[in-house]
Amino acid sequence: MTADIVLRAFAAFLTAAWQETSRALDQLEEASYLLDDWMQANWEILVEAVLLSRGTGFLEVYGDGADCHGTSSRVFRPEALPTHRIRCVAASGKQLWNLLTDGPLTDDEMTFWGFVRWEDGSYASTPLFNAVLLEGARNAVVGLDEIEFKLEKIS
């Protein structure tokens, strides 16, 4: 499977499971940390394990990563260092447009941070996911329909 198919499936999974997961966690004081742990665990299972099967590498963390192992942001194999990252490139016939600045995005050093909802001029890390947050010299938010996800080895 391509990175694009796998990541779009992950966004669909997060959307489908979000309401029940957040409802269960809302009862706990550490709900926001546990939600990050839940997203990172599922990232490692549903994205990393599919794209980099049998320990052939490890992805950068999803979003803020997990907070269950002290110095590591990973859930499984906390000692593992990232060997690959997810890059977002313009989909065929599209131009990357930074919704935060309402201007074209030309920084090719931007890397995927996570899925977000863009609404009324701001973003949140909650469904319905219609955009992605990219990190680089400055953050950017790009519409989900404008991008294609690519797996890239970290050099």
Question: Strands, E, within 10-154: which ranges?
Answer: 84-90, 97-98, 103-104, 111-119, 122-124, 131-135, 140-143, 147-153
What value, to the nearest 5°, has the Cα angle with vertex 78 and ends 75 and 47? Answer: 50
Whole-number pLDDT of residue 143: 96
Q: Which amino acid is at 65?
A: G
Please list the helix, strand and coil fractions of the chain in percent, rounded to the nearest 5, in that order: 30, 25, 40
* pLDDT of res. 94: 87
Going residue by residue through the chain (155 aa), what tens digit of pLDDT does each one get?
899 999 999 999 999 999 998 888 877 777 777 889 999 999 999 999 999 987 789 999 999 888 888 889 998 988 989 999 999 999 988 888 999 999 998 766 678 999 999 999 999 999 999 999 998 878 899 999 999 999 999 98
Q: Which two tokens stand for residue 67?
A: 């907070």
Q: What is the predicted pLDDT for the residue at 102?
A: 94
